[in-house]
Chains A and B, each alone.
Chain A
């Protein structure tokens, strides 16, 4: 962005801030001016969207000043104490035609730049990179279609911060374990879909908001210019933890991005080897319980609660639960394949053999459950 443009937007922001805040609260202007505006974002398109926002806002403010100005003048000057006798007129064809035609011209003027931008937004062709974004309650899954890499992006919001027991992180609650990583200056196409209910993948600074709808694949695109971390969240009400479904994108220069891709491939191979190692031996309960507890707290506790007490009908208690104390095969099936049409997802694609074995062992031997069962990674592997 050129210096002139920067100054223009800065001045505009200050002007809007001045207008609104001085009218409303007289609060410190500069501090507010930053947050009163639609975000500028990090792409050429996000800046154009912001400019459209400014255009329509200014038009509305100008019309508003005229209309409300007339109204207030009338309230002041045409009150009975000043004008005991009202005028008699009640129509005027010329005026009425004028205030029908002029607004029609104004909205035509607004529609033209909006149409031009929209045509470009909808042009998803010639992407350098395609990413399949799949929403599920309450996390995102990213698959790099060209690179054969995929991972889940889980929220990592400490429960202590949610419950106000600890000071909140600067980025609360928009924190994840694995952000989506993108290169700068590449046209990236996002294909959104969902595995359960409707979600909406939204990154304000990329000016992308696209619903993720089961049975549909929608398209959107962005070309990020500046490296950085951009945070957003699910925008469509998707159940209990809708507020805790962040979308975090890390944009890096192309060389770094390529290095990251290589690392991911390597990590994938290593985790394959680790999985082989894990299932080639027997694990003791003492080894599995801490791993299981960790998995339980990050993945299961949002619904079933950290103490396994559950929440009402929808999220059953695990302490004394039918599944957690029933046959191991049923427990394996429920955890690995989930329960259809409920928030209980299939965890087989999301967790390693070891994690699943550990969390099942943990559930069967915690919260007052005392089955004594130890589930081995090999058992999980064979159940896949």
Chain B
């Protein structure tokens, strides 16, 4: 190597240097940052689409968006939020945190890590470029039911298909990396049952991804061959079966729901004990409940299809299995409350977001239980009640937990404390806006408003107006979040290494900001004062 040193160009242009550094990086922290930046960008893109939707629904009649544009906005909002905002945010957190939490120097497969990230920008360029194509972007909803998406889909559907393929490849490779890292690179003495809960939930999430994403890839591949190569997987006229599409989609789709929430469970389980200054209650039952939810997530997909003409036996099975999920989910919520119980709590911004997460996610869980009751679900199905349900699960679930994580670990990442006053303002406005936006949707749904409609009966006008006002406020609060994050990166009060007095875990033993390379020699759990999150037996 030394011999070649002087043949290399001595100095590159700083801009080229900058691009190459981020393009070629194999460092878990830098890749984590890339994921989080991409996620944040797409969060605003998909959020802007939601603003178009809510502006149109502000009043009955057609104001801003013609039906074609409206359907495209609804579709892309869902796809980009799910695949572009939530999933990359969690992968970004995994990249940053898992090696630091288990005392590993990096992810196990650093080059693969770089590749899994850099697939994503291309995937989203493919997907979003469809907006500018003749015939418009995909307009069939994020669930892309056949035959609306196959025979009747716009030409840009093929870009959507390849975009989804790329996202799937990225997720599967990322998950393999996470599993390999967790199973092989833990510091000596850190047994599985001593791992922080965030690591546990991600390990289980990664298995869900590996099992679910290939099924989605199968669905879009069948779509592709139906569209171009004369097959009839989903085309009834050719002997195919449109309902088969829904089975395949939801076999992916339901685990996907838990992919978007399990890491959030992990985050809450890190943050609540820190600010309650008390060990997590029921560590073992938390792990088992997560595993139970993951298992159940693969046998409940039919509850999305109760109106498709499913036989009674199928409906009963999926109803019982779905209701069963309430048990492990309840255990988690009870454990969080028991963790708080007789603690010594303070309420910094990460704790506020974590508590907001627990409470509003629980409301989403309640409506989920109601949706499991098939005779009632037949009325709820495809109405705004469902929209309210899954936004309660996803916004306070996935988004609030990601924001809690950002406030909690930003000081470790940047070396600066965020502005606590602004953080609190952010939380309270966001919490009010989320409820203002999504709570009235329960009522418009119960009154009979279907989802994905560009226009609606005047009977639903008041609730929609409230929702739209809430949505506008919710959009604005996230601009505040952007400002807070940028401000924290650029400067602010110096953060200590420990950052939070009640925090436990290896990531708090390294300096703030975390240097590029950490744990190049494995830490010793005893000398680093690692009191495992678990009980000592």
Contact = CB atoms under 8 A, between A and B. Distances in A.
B323 interface: yes
A270 interface: no
Contact of A39 (B281, B358, B370, B447): B447
A24 B452 CA distance: 26
Contact of B370 (A48, A60, A244): A60
B241 A215 contact: yes
Contacts of B448: 39, 204, 232
B334 A90 contact: no
Interface stretch (A76-84, A273-281, A324-332, A356-364): A76-84
A207 B377 CA distance: 10
B511 interface: no
A155 B323 CA distance: 39
Contacts of A161: 61
A216 B243 contact: yes
B285 to A, nearest CB: 5
Nearest to B452: A237
Interface string A28-55: 0000000111110000010011001100
B369 A60 contact: yes
B326 A103 contact: yes
A382 interface: no
Contacts of A311: 66, 68
B222 interface: no
A170 B459 CA distance: 9
B188 interface: no
B382 A200 contact: yes
A171 B458 CA distance: 8
Contacts of A127: none
B309 A216 contact: yes
Interface string A196-233: 11101010100111110111101100000000000011
Interface stretch (B25-33, B140-148, B258-266): B140-148
A162 B61 contact: yes
B340 interface: yes
A214 B147 contact: yes
Interface stretch (B94-102, B114-122, B313-321): B313-321
A241 B454 CA distance: 8
Interface string B324-346: 10110011011001111111111
Given A52-B375, A172-B458, A198-B147, A213 B242 contact: yes
A96 interface: yes
Interface in A92-116: 92, 95-96, 99-100, 103-104, 107, 110-111, 114-115
Contacts of B480: none
A330 B82 CA distance: 46
B439 interface: yes
A18 interface: no
A52 B355 contact: no
A87 B278 contact: yes
B278 to A, nearest CB: 4
Max chain A Cβ within 10 angstroms of own Cβ: one of B236, B342, B448: B448
Contacts of A216: 236, 242-243, 309
B363 to A, nearest CB: 7
B248 interface: no
B340 A71 contact: yes
Interface string A300-332: 000000000001111000000000000000000
Contacts of B347: 75, 79
A49 B330 contact: no
A49 B375 contact: yes
A152 B214 CA distance: 43
Given A71-B340, A173-B457, A235-B381, A91 B135 contact: no
A197 to B, nearest CB: 4
Contact of B382 (A24, A45, A163, A235): A235
A200 B307 contact: yes
A219 B312 CA distance: 12
A234 interface: yes
Contacts of B382: 200, 202, 209, 235-236
B359 A68 contact: yes
A49 B280 CA distance: 41
A56 B376 contact: yes
B145 A237 contact: yes
B173 interface: no
A252 to B, nearest CB: 22
Contacts of B240: 215
A341 B152 contact: yes
Contact of B136 (A56, A86, A163, A312): A312
A164 interface: yes
A93 B277 CA distance: 22
A235 B279 contact: no
- Smallest CB-CB A-B distances: 7 pairs: A215-B236, A218-B309, A243-B453, A60-B366, A87-B342, A86-B344, A90-B279
26 contacts: A38-B379, A53-B379, A56-B376, A67-B362, A74-B340, A87-B278, A87-B341, A87-B343, A90-B279, A91-B535, A99-B331, A100-B330, A118-B312, A163-B62, A168-B458, A173-B455, A196-B152, A197-B145, A214-B147, A214-B237, A214-B242, A215-B242, A216-B242, A312-B68, A312-B135, A313-B134
Interface of A: 24, 35-39, 45, 48-49, 52-53, 56-57, 60, 63-64, 67-68, 70-71, 74-75, 78-80, 83-92, 95-96, 99-100, 103-104, 107, 110-111, 114-115, 117-119, 121-122, 161-164, 168, 170-174, 196-198, 200, 202, 204, 207-211, 213-216, 218-219, 232-244, 311-314, 341-343
